[in-house]
Structure 1
Amino acid sequence: MRLRLTLAGAGILLLLFGVFRLVTQIPFGSLLILALWLAGAILIHDGILSPLVLAIGWGIGRLVPPRARLFLQGALVAAGLVTVVAIPMIYRQGSQPASKALLQQNFGGNLTLLVGIIAGATLLAYAVRVARDQAAARTLAETETEDEPDSPMPRAGVEPDLAHGQTQRRTRMGDGDP
């Protein structure tokens, strides 16, 4: 508890120092622009981005199979983050002199390439998952067909049904129902 209070106190002191520096070092016009920018950011986030993300998530949940859903969601998050970082650079591209080479790159093309790499890596990861699942299912099917029903030693998780000459798979609760 003492550590938590110490950290909270340090955070509050740093916050007050930052506010003091803003008020004493930054002209009022710049503070007004900053306040408008922050209000715009809140409006864009809460009015556009959050409903859009919720709608996309709802659509993915209803349209995409469960196995693919995780991969698609990860790809969309990665592509979204990359896009959010790239948009200001695309917007400001060409606004600086040639001596500032950072804003002279083709950010639109680079963003397209990076989103393509994310999509390719996602498709590859999904293909590996599907191949692994299919291999596991084949292995399980092969082991079940190789076991003889008249074997004196039943497999783990299988109980012999002596009355009918068959075996029954035990469930987790152990009630013998398939």
Structure 2
Amino acid sequence: MIARIGIAVVGVAFAAYGAWLLLAEDLADLVDAAVWLGAGVVLHDFVLVPLTLALGWLVSRLVPAGLRPRAAAGLVVLGTLTVLAIPVIGRFGERPDNPTILDRGYTAGWLLVVVVVLVVVGVSEVARRRRRPR
């Protein structure tokens, strides 16, 4: 119980420090933070959730029942990595005066991860079929 209270006190202290830092900024920064947070909620609720539901429905119709858990795991990994990779694949924040920013082939790296995830899903399905009693 004392550990929980200690963790709560530390959490409240960090939250208070973050609020203090936020309130010490200009009003324009507060508006930018509010817009950024609001946009995240809107994108999640009106883009990511419907897209995830539609993809789940499609997978449930097209993928055989035995492969669905592995396909779902692969889609969760790929979906998360794709959302995280969008800024670098889109090269947002690239600056011509600083060539060290976004200096790699991020699209090729993302495609490599896609291939690795698909291979892992395929190999795990083959292993599952081999373990199954005949």
For Structure 1 versus Structure 2, the TM-score category normalised by the shorter chain is: 0.7 to 0.9
Letter in 2 for 1:29: A
Query: Displacement of 1:36 after TM fit?
Result: 0.5
**C-alpha spacing 1:43/1:94, structure 2 compared with 1 (3 Å):** closer
Letter in 1 for 2:18: G
Query: Displacement of 1:114 after TM fit?
Result: 1.5
Larger strand percent: 1
**1:79 — aligned with what?**
78
**2:19 — aligned with what?**
19
Query: Counterpart of 1:104 in 2: which secondary structure?
Result: coil
C-alpha distance after superposition, 1:30-77 (max 9, x if no partner): 221121111011000011101221222233234322210011011101
Considering only CA atoms, is the larger Rg found in Structure 1 or Structure 2? 1
Aligned-residue Cα RMSD (Å) equals: 2.1
**1:130 — aligned with what?**
129
When normalised by structure 1's length, the TM-score is: 0.66
C-alpha distance after superposition, 1:122-151 (max 9, x if no partner): 112212211222xx21xxxxxxxxxxxxxx
In 1, the alpha carbon distance for the partners of 2:71 and 2:7 equals 39
Moved more, 117-126 or 38-47: 117-126
Aligned residues: 134
Query: Counterpart of 2:95 in 1: which secondary structure?
Result: coil
Matched, 1:51 2:57: no
Query: Displacement of 1:17 after TM fit?
Result: 1.3
**C-alpha spacing 1:27/1:92, structure 2 compared with 1 (3 Å):** farther
Q: Is the 8 A contact 2:88 2:102 kept in 1?
A: yes
In 1, the alpha carbon distance for the partners of 2:3 and 2:48 equals 37
Q: Is the 8 A contact 1:92 1:103 kept in 2?
A: yes
In 1, the alpha carbon distance for the partners of 2:129 and 2:63 equals 15
- Higher-RCO chain (CA-CA 8 Å, sequence separation at least 6): 2
Identity, in percent, stands at 31
Larger helix percent: 2
Query: Displacement of 1:21 after TM fit?
Result: 1.1
